[in-house]
Structure 1
Amino acid sequence: MDELNKLAPTELIYRFKQFFQCSIPDCGDVVAISGDARLEANGTGTHLVEHPYVYRLFPGAVHRGLPIVSLPAETPDAVRYEIETAFKLYWVDLGSCANKMRISVERALDELGVAPAHSLNERIKSFEAIEPDHAETFHALREVGNVGSHQGDNSRETVLDAWEVYEDALRDLFGGHKSRINALRAKIRASKGR
């Protein structure tokens, strides 16, 4: 215990837990976050005297993973389950998050009627004939998932980029976004812009 008392506050590892509640009245969902924290010096000048340290938080667990992207309401349950699990893992283990994202692509292909094959790569190649643009997205997600599965060293930026392109594909494939836009375009053209 004497050794612990000799350490400066910035040399210690602290633990934190925090609850957040959604401010949207119809939601009110509660999320619990816990992890490690460290004290860091709080800049210079007058603020240093007033508040010499600030906590820097390192989340280690998130219960009810914070959504990283919006999912269309029509997203099939099997796909949604894998994606929501990946949301939780984003804060804990990026490699596992990327792996779950890859599994969700498998579930999406199941829902889209793409036959099982020897590999995900083969399934996506079959999908290219139906949706070439989204097949490219699925190939990108497969590659991110492969890195997560085999090396486990995905960068946060790459995983966030993957989520962004996945969100676009989900909006089209399950949310009908592309069909809606095409219908609006045709309506405008048919009315000659009136």
Structure 2
Amino acid sequence: MEKRHWKQKYTTFPPLPCPRCGGALRFDKSSLAERETAYSLRGRSEGNWTLYDIETRFVCFLVCEVVWCGEIVAVSGISSEQEEPVYGDVDQETDVFTYYYPKSMIPAPYPFRLSKKLSEECRVDLANAFRLLWNDHAACSNKLRMFVEHLLDQLGVPREIPKKPKNLDSRIEKFGEDHPQYMQILHALRHVGNTGSHTAKTTFDDVVQCFILVQAVIKALIDREMDEIYKTAKKLTEKYERSLLIRKNKNRAYVG
């Protein structure tokens, strides 16, 4: 996952991953359309206004660069002009930049490809989380909490733990008895999800961080990538240990 590509506002759209094939989505500049609201125009006609008072909406398309795919993602949201400092040849100057705040992307780009080994419930949770990122990141964090519940289902952790409260906290603690290294990650996803559900005070950046945690958990617990790495390391160690032993035995025979 390219964290730097996932932001609340853009001056231009980066190559986000295509939701259909995983290729790069390119911003079609010719498709960009902006329109200022009537009340914003009236406010400007009265003369007492600033750049920050202008209310503008935009729409555009992101197009997959893979020829055989050609997916089109429709983007809509709010645009605004902001004056910011820049450095000129002599002194610091200011310039005006247009920022685009997406509120929806249809179909939603996936920050990372979903593993085919994930359960259907987990895949649905993540697909819904990706879709909600732009217009309701609190609801998005709730979908990630649901993902943790369904992930523990897939990993065989029971919904009810004897002598423990019937909640996600208890399930994570149960799972952590044999996998303590993952408890902090699952608890972090639970806390952010709970906050989004009850107070709607999660932030966009925090949800993006959660996506990074989710991707790491899937690689470790579902795809078992570290298992393959350990197997490779073991094979290499055994191979070169045998080679070293053979050389040592040959040297002893020669000396003797």
Q: Deviations over 1:51-79 (max 9, x none)?
A: x8542111111222222234333222211
Aligned residue for 1:49?
Answer: none
Distance 2:219 2:132 in 1: 22
**Structure 1 residue 24 corresponds to structure 2 residue 63:** no
Letter paired with 2:111: I
TM superposition shift of 1:167: 1.0
Aligned residue for 1:137?
Answer: 185
TM superposition shift of 1:9: 8.0
Aligned residue for 1:35?
Answer: 77
Aligned residue for 2:149?
Answer: 106
Aligned residue for 2:110?
Answer: 67
Gaps of 5+ in 2: 1-37, 89-94, 161-165, 244-256
Distance 1:25 1:111 in 2: 37
Identity of aligned residues (%): 26
* SS in structure 1 at match of 2:240: coil
RMSD of aligned residue pairs (Cα, Å):
2.6
Aligned residue for 1:185?
Answer: 233
Distance 1:176 1:26 in 2: 31
Contact 1:35 1:61 in 2 (8 A): yes
Structure 2 length-normalised TM: 0.65
Distance 2:83 2:206 in 1: 30
Select the structure that is richer in strand: 2
TM superposition shift of 1:41: 4.3
Aligned residue for 2:131?
Answer: 88
TM superposition shift of 1:90: 1.4
Distance 1:90 1:157 in 2: 10
**Structure 1 residue 124 corresponds to structure 2 residue 172:** yes
Contact 1:71 1:171 in 2 (8 A): no
Structure 1 length-normalised TM: 0.84
TM superposition shift of 1:170: 0.5
Distance 1:131 1:29 in 2: 40
TM superposition shift of 1:13: 0.8
* Aligned residue pairs, count: 189
Q: 2:197 aligns with which of 149, 164, 174?
A: 149
| Structure 1 runs, 4 residues or longer, greater than 6 Å off | 42-45
